[in-house]
Amino acid sequence: MDFETRWLEDFLALASTQSFSKAAERRHVTQPAFSRRIKSLEDMVGVQLIDRSRTPISLTAEGQLFLITARSIVSQLHETLARLRGLSPQQHTILEVAAAHSLAFTFFPDWLNSLGKLTNDLSIRLVAMNVEDAVHALRDGQCDMMQVYYDSYATLQLDPSLFPSIHLLDTSMVPVCKPDEEGNPLYSLQSLSDEPIPLLSYTSGAFLGRTVRLLLKHHPIRLRLKTVYETAMAEGLKGMALQGHGIAWMPKLCIERELTEGRLVICEGEEWQTPLEVRLYRCTLVNKPIVDDLWRQLQAK
C-alpha cells in the first residue's frame, strides 16, 4: 500500500473535530471515503490510532503520540513546498491558478480580461478542478491562486491569516429547469401533486452540493425530490437540465445565456435561492514576487 500525505491531513482534521462526519466535511470528501482513508493510514502505521468506541471519538495512546509527528510532518512539508516553488526561477513569471470547473469555463475568462494591464507581463496557467482538489493544491503550494465559490454555510475551512481571499462577485444558487412550450417551468417546487420531483443532483462530496443540502435541510420539499442524475460538475447538471430531465440548482452566473435565451427558466421564488460568492484565494507561504504584486493591485481595485 502506497502512503499518501493527505492521510496525515485527514488525521489532523479528525483529531481536531473528534467527528468523522465533521472531519470529512472539512476535508471535502464523503464520510465513507474519509473513513477508508483513516483506516488506510492505520493499516500503514500498523496500530489503531482512533478509539471508535465512544462519542465523540478520541485518539488512542498511539494516536496521541502519532499526532505530534503528523503535525510536524505536514507543517514542514507545506513550508518546504512553498519555499521551493518560490525559489524556482522558471516559475517567477507564470501565474498558476486553480479554478472550479464551472468558473474556469464561464467567469474566469471575463474576469481575466477585466484585469487589463495588470497581467500583461504574466503567463497564466489555469487548471480546472473540483473545489476539494483546488483547496489541496493551494495548501500544498501547487498553485499560486485559487478561484472558487464560497458561501457562509459551506465554508472552505481555510485559515484566513495564511490563505487570505478577495471578494470578486456576488451571485446566487437558483433552481432551474427546461421550460414547456408556453415558457413555464416543466417542474414545480410548489406543486400540490404527490408525484416525486426529478432532481439533478451534485455528488455528496461536491461543494455546491453541500450548499443545496443546507438550503433544503429543514424544508419538507426534500422528501419529494427524487435524484435521477448525479455529477460533481455544474456543467454536467446544466446539460441534463437543458434536456428536460429535472430540476438543478445552478450558480446563476453559469447559466445567464441560457436564461436570456429562454432555454432554462428559474423555478419559483427567492425562498428557493441562496446567496453565493466567487472569491480569489492565495497562500501567503509562497515566496513569489509576482503574486505579491498582483495581490496588492487586486486589493486596491
Phi-psi region of 28 (alpha: psi -120 to 50; beta: other; left: phi over 0): left
DSSP annotation of 196: P
The continuous run of DSSP H or E covering 277 comes out as strand 274-282
- Classify domain 171-276 at the CATH class level: alpha beta
Q: What is the CB-side half-sphere exposure of residue 268 using CA atoms within 13 A? A: 16
Average pLDDT in the chain: 86
User: Which neighbouring-strand residues pair with 166?
Assistant: 280
In angstroms, the Cα distances linking 35 to 11, 29, 172, 288 are: 10, 10, 32, 37
Q: Please compute the mean of the pLDDT values over residues 94-112 and round it to a whole number.
A: 90
Domain boundaries, the chain: 6-78, 86-170+278-300, 171-276
> Does 94 or 260 have the greater pLDDT score?
260
At residue 179, the pLDDT reads: 96
3-state secondary structure of 200: strand
CATH T-level fold of 6-78: Arc Repressor Mutant, subunit A (1.10.10)
At residue 27, the pLDDT reads: 83
Residue 182, burial from CB neighbour count under 10 angstroms (0-12, 13-18, 19+): exposed
Q: Please compute the mean of the pLDDT values over residues 184-198 and round it to a whole number.
A: 86
Q: How far apart are the first and last CA of the chain?
A: 49
Query: Cβ–Cβ contacts within 10 Å for residue 57, how many?
Result: 17
Between β-strands 165-177 and 94-100, what pairing exists: parallel, antiparallel or unpaired?
unpaired
**Which superfamily is assigned to 86-170+278-300 in CATH?**
Periplasmic binding protein-like II (3.40.190.10)
Are 86-170+278-300 and 171-276 the same fold in CATH? yes
**Does the pLDDT of residue 155 top 70, yes or no?**
no
How do residues 85-98 score in pLDDT, each as one tens digit?
A: 555 545 556 888 99
Return d(Cα 63, Cα 118) in angstroms, integer: 49
Contact 206, 248 (CB under 8 A): no
How do residues 203-255 score in pLDDT, each as one tens digit?
A: 887 888 888 988 888 788 888 899 999 998 898 999 999 999 999 999 999 99
Return d(Cα 76, Cα 78) in angstroms, integer: 6
Phi and psi at residue 210, in whole multiples of 5°?
A: -65, -35
**Does the pLDDT of residue 173 top 70, yes or no?**
yes
Name the nearest CA neighbour of 250 among 178, 188, 175: 175
